[in-house]
Structure 1
Amino acid sequence: MLKWQEVFSKNGLPWQDAETLAEPLSCSTLPQLKAFLDAVHIRFCLVKPFQESKGYPLVEARELLPSFDNDMFEHKDLPGFAMVAFARQLHYFSEIFQYDKLHPVITEVEGVPCCPLENQVYHQNLETIASRLPRLHQDVFRQQFRLADTSLLDTYPALVPYLCSMDRAQVLALDAGRQFHLAGIFASFPSDIDSELKRFGIRIGKFVYGDNELYERNRMFVYQYLMELYGFPIVSERRTSSALFARKLHKMGERFILRVLGQTDRTITTYTADGENRRYPLLEKIALVRVDEDQEEAIARIDEGGFFLDRARRVIIIRITYRQHSFDQSNVRQDRALSVAFQEVLHPLTGQPLPGLNIIKDTTNMFLRLNDIVRGEFSGRIVYKRTEVVENTDTDEKRLKFLYAWLTKHQRRMISYSDEFFSNVSKVLSGYLYSPENDEVFGTVRELHREVCTRFSYIQQARRVRILEDLRLRTFKGTRISYRQMMREALEQLTDLKFEISTFFPDLVDAIMACVEGILSDRYMLRTYVEPPEERLSKAGLEIRRNYGKLVSLLDGFRAVRKARTHKDEVLS
């Protein structure tokens, strides 16, 4: 196994040892800075604790897959930090956040000496950092860095263990010579979560100004969606403030890198904005992950290129890049804020990426996990409804809780997956949830069983709604279709849904009605097949008109059900 001191030691930077560079580092652009920070943070904040901490909690691949699970444990002995780097010089009074300033030492500009108080600046920076460290580290820190310029990037690797012991963030920026340096410490990122949440909710139509009931009903959805856009569930203050500060900086047009490592998620999350025309900052996560032993092809490719950090335990350094999605009220997967754009395994020596592998989204693995859960053979841990940690699947109650978490986690993907994959999933789930042999067992956990069945029913109905969404655009299974086929398929889907809405989901019924209304209001179809006299229509045209009438009738039925259910809810409330 590669030692942590050697990680990224051949990434193109002049490393002398784990903490020292053989020559001064010149770093003037965000990509250069990011390459340097990747090496330092992965080496000191991920690999070092992995090798030195007994029982280091590796990140499970599913934890990197949206939607993200809530973290139930904080590993206080592991590193954690927040950091922001600006591709400009800082203006202390004008910045929108608080931090303790460190002064760079510019020895000369165009050959002219300009800092006669070099030692005093060193000492001031040293004392500024020391004053923010826990008392037990202060004397050791002063002794170690008494002769060093702590603002230089050359010193940064040795500083990282101390910076990780601070509660607040580090600040990097360009100096007068257009080189990055450590410009500040103990920074507080502003987090106006209340205003951000309400503005965002109003913009996507989930809140209305002054409507308390609507706010109460949709608040958790909006909160979770907003946080997931930036790569987190609803989490601790450090990561929440980092996400919202990245949002604010991007809106302001700043060029920056913002990075945060939580002691709960053990994952380095990075936001980058380098002047590209993007709606959101680029979002990446880096973590140590164990490759499942049944991913034989991936293991072979990783092993062939020497990409394993620890071959015996199949541990790799993985980087996930995500794609953010704008909210779409009409999409049945409207809660999908984030998806995986691509995955890369990083070489532990060179940092070179190995693309083209599917480590965290493998459908075969998903199906195998599902089988293991149903059989009671799955060993692992999940968080049930953000409040309860459930370990292993040795009882039916635990299996149901695992299934609920599994269905919730993969809901959006299952709505989109192929018919063949979903058919296999349905067989496994139906064989367990609806088997007469399990009636007696489920009788003792009836409410839990009902919750799992309801979640499964939602996914089944949502898949049909997704098909209706495609049919509205005259596409079916990725192929452009005729109006005749569109009406046939829409009629079939709506007829099936009519018998499935005994398990009633208001948002799905609304989506169904919106899709059908969109189909029925197609102007070309109305002008060509509905409005002309019947004698002018061909056989195909007559079929389209008949199916049009049937769809109208079915739509009226759905409207009646929706109205009756709304009235019932109002009476009960």
Structure 2
Amino acid sequence: MWEKAFSQAPGYQRIEKNKSQTIGLKTLEELKDFIDFEHIKYCLLKPYFEVKDYPLVEARELLPSFEVDLYEYKSLPGFSMVAFERQLNSFQEIFQFDALHSLSDWEEMQVQDTCSVEENAIATNIRTFQSRLPKRYHAAFLSEFESKNICSMQSYDRILPFLLELERAHVIAHDSTGEFTLQGMYASLPSNLDSELKQFGLKIGKFKPGNNLMYECNRLFVYQFMMELHGFPIVSERRTSSAMFAIRLLRQHERFIVRVLGQSDRTITTMMSPPPGTPRRLAKYPKVEKTALVQVHENQKDLVELLKDQGFFVDDKKRVVILRVTYQQHDYSPKNVREDRALSVLRQEVIHPITGRTIENLNIIQNVRNMILRLNDIVRGEYRIPVNYKRSEIIESTDTHEDRLKALYTWLSKHMHRIVDYSDDYYSQIVRVLDGYLLAPDNYGIFNDHYELHQEVWSRYGQIQQARKIRILEDLRNRKYKGESISYHRMLELMTEILNELKFEIVNYFDRLVVKVLIIGNDVVSDSYLLRKYIQVDDKTLSPYGHDIKKMYQQLVMLLDEFRSIRKSRTASSSSSSPF
């Protein structure tokens, strides 16, 4: 089936039928459309039909925060690529690569340069490429390309299998006529990870110059956040260097695409410069997309029927689709209860395998009902998908309570930010499942045997419960409650009510959450309008309504003092018990 992929896609069909003519790709957007079809066809669909037991990407793997890959699949393709919407200038580029030249480039060089230039441009490109290609592929390469132009985008589908055998990136850029061609290979993308990490940590206030302890405590958080902004967890060198290179190119205001496919993640990740005219606040990060083969859950019956009727399935029996996910980056804010949320899903598109058309407004990877079903599977011992527990152990099934607790901890950690934002209805369903398992009398003896694991799950569960309350406080700070504007009176009333509940819940103490409470509370008690209108005025001039507001304001101040005392005692006790 893969040979027919995108055979009816309008732009791609024109290119396929006119192999003898130039394609004429001049803009980055035109190039992206072309290589999307090529990479999906030859790097996802072809392996799916040719590799036995192809490992489909789990929907949860495309949800931030991203998980570390469990396995590397040596039989699957992998590559990295960089494209520039300009001509290359070999000496002035900031990375190393083996240059290839289109025929038009050689003609220009012969006119401008008197030094010895190879008369046969094609032969020179072939020798350059062959010098980097593993020897076992030489015969096939020469059979395909001897005396032929390897730089033209018309040849890209035929050169791609050989590019996939190279360890380093290939480079696409404008030739002297302003069209995209293959302009380089075996490119080494500079990582510069150390300076980028430290610069980012200083920027968000997690590092301070010369403070080694602060650096060591926050390094992993900063590393994870920075990588997730660009679509990855902390991963292999190929994907790390691609992300770092994208940061550098964006800072230099380049028009670029950086693309990478890992053998472990089976996902094409694209980082692209924002289009011209993008507001400055939205142009701080590259546009991040991920494309993969994903199985639609059988419980999404209406969606399955829709996709089947319109021919979107790559494999009807297994309900496999080509899914492209676009993400939105979030600035770090210490005031945000979800402060480690760097990325969220902006858009999901299913791509038709024949026509190339897309259908949006579908929910394949964020379906709440599916997530609750997975949670039920875990507590019942019916979950069979491998789980990476704390990056140290692979849980293959949930047959034992020990494995269920480990899978449950991983599930809660993965979806914590989403659960914090769930409606009360969906959250009550999650609570019902968790309480039914964690508080079941029949399980008390079992949980005593796994006391530390059980407490670990309870701690994460308690953190989510507290975070949901603080998420409400974040809205109340802006006088919003359940999507509606409220008065100062109602804001103070709700805040004091929530803080009264919360102070008894922080028996399970999470310092970051308490800090958020204090930041939000300080913002409210420092509100200039509140101070001017009700607090810094004589009681005699206040109306009964004003007296109520002043009284609740004082209650809020007292509650914040209690939280400061709790934090002071907790931090003091933890520092005294520390061996350092």
Structure 2 Cα separation of the partners of residues 41 and 334 of structure 1 = 35
Contact 2:6 2:13 in 1 (8 A): no
Residue aligning to 1:310 = 315
For the aligned residue pairs, the C-alpha RMSD in angstroms reads 2.0
Measured against aligned partners, the alpha-carbon deviations of 1:499-556 in whole angstroms (never above 9, x if no partner) come to 0010111111111111111111212222222233333333322222221121111111
Equivalent residue of 2:507, what SS? coil
Structure 1 Cα separation of the partners of residues 541 and 302 of structure 2 = 60
Structure 2 Cα separation of the partners of residues 481 and 21 of structure 1 = 64
Measured against aligned partners, the alpha-carbon deviations of 1:300-329 in whole angstroms (never above 9, x if no partner) come to 221222111111110000100000111111
Contact 1:20 1:158 in 2 (8 A): no
Q: Does 1:566 pair with 2:571?
A: yes
Structure 1 Cα separation of the partners of residues 15 and 516 of structure 2 = 59
Measured against aligned partners, the alpha-carbon deviations of 1:172-199 in whole angstroms (never above 9, x if no partner) come to 1000100100000000000011100000
Q: 1:117 to 1:532 in 2, by over 3 A?
A: closer
Measured against aligned partners, the alpha-carbon deviations of 1:3-45 in whole angstroms (never above 9, x if no partner) come to 1111112222465998983643111111111111011110110
Contact 1:414 1:459 in 2 (8 A): yes
Structure 2 Cα separation of the partners of residues 11 and 114 of structure 1 = 41
- Unmatched 5+ stretches in structure 2: none
1:30 to 24, 28, 31: 28
1:335-414 matches, within 5 Å, as: 335-414=340-419
Measured against aligned partners, the alpha-carbon deviations of 1:258-284 in whole angstroms (never above 9, x if no partner) come to 100000000000111143431111110
Contact 1:20 1:157 in 2 (8 A): no
Measured against aligned partners, the alpha-carbon deviations of 1:389-434 in whole angstroms (never above 9, x if no partner) come to 1112111111111111111110111111111211211121122112
1:557 to 552, 556, 562: 562
Equivalent residue of 1:106, what SS? helix
Q: Does 1:40 pair with 2:45?
A: no
Contact 1:379 1:393 in 2 (8 A): yes
Structure 1, 423-432 or 13-22: larger mean CA deviation:
13-22
Return the letter of the residue paired with 2:2. Answer: W
Contact 1:106 1:114 in 2 (8 A): no
Shift of 1:125: 0.6
Residue aligning to 2:428 = 423
Return the letter of the residue paired with 2:287. Answer: L
Contact 1:5 1:17 in 2 (8 A): no
Return the letter of the residue paired with 1:84. Answer: V
Residue aligning to 2:339 = 334
Contact 2:19 2:154 in 1 (8 A): yes
Residue aligning to 1:132 = 132
Structure 1 Cα separation of the partners of residues 68 and 320 of structure 2 = 23
Shift of 1:242: 0.3
Residue aligning to 2:102 = 104
Measured against aligned partners, the alpha-carbon deviations of 1:74-104 in whole angstroms (never above 9, x if no partner) come to 0011000000010000000000000000011
Q: Does 1:143 pair with 2:148?
A: no
Contact 1:19 1:158 in 2 (8 A): no
Contact 1:454 1:503 in 2 (8 A): yes
Contact 2:118 2:124 in 1 (8 A): no
Return the letter of the residue paired with 2:310. Answer: G
1:53-132 matches, within 5 Å, as: 53-106=51-104, 120-132=120-132
1:249-328 matches, within 5 Å, as: 249-273=249-273, 274-277=275-278, 278-328=283-333
Q: How many residues align?
A: 570
Shift of 1:153: 0.7
Residue aligning to 2:217 = 217
Structure 1, 222-231 or 515-524: larger mean CA deviation:
515-524
Equivalent residue of 1:570, what SS? helix
Equivalent residue of 2:65, what SS? coil
Equivalent residue of 2:185, what SS? strand
Residue aligning to 1:5 = 3
Structure 1, 428-437 or 76-85: larger mean CA deviation:
428-437
Residue aligning to 1:530 = 535
Contact 1:373 1:399 in 2 (8 A): yes
Residue aligning to 2:165 = 165
Structure 2 Cα separation of the partners of residues 324 and 358 of structure 1 = 19
Equivalent residue of 2:382, what SS? coil
- Unmatched 5+ stretches in structure 1: none
Residue aligning to 1:499 = 504
Contact 1:20 1:155 in 2 (8 A): no
Structure 2 Cα separation of the partners of residues 373 and 516 of structure 1 = 38
Contact 2:227 2:234 in 1 (8 A): yes
Return the letter of the residue paired with 1:466. Answer: R
Contact 1:149 1:155 in 2 (8 A): yes
Return the letter of the residue paired with 2:508. Answer: T
Residue aligning to 2:474 = 469
Q: Does 1:248 pair with 2:248?
A: yes
Return the letter of the residue paired with 1:40. Answer: E
Shift of 1:54: 0.6
Equivalent residue of 2:103, what SS? coil
Structure 1 Cα separation of the partners of residues 489 and 105 of structure 2 = 78
Return the letter of the residue paired with 1:7. Answer: A
The TM-score with structure 1 as length reference comes to 0.96
Return the letter of the residue paired with 1:99. Answer: F
1:171-210 matches, within 5 Å, as: 171-210=171-210
Equivalent residue of 2:326, what SS? strand
Q: 1:538 to 1:435 in 2, by over 3 A?
A: farther
Shift of 1:449: 1.0
Shift of 1:107: 8.8
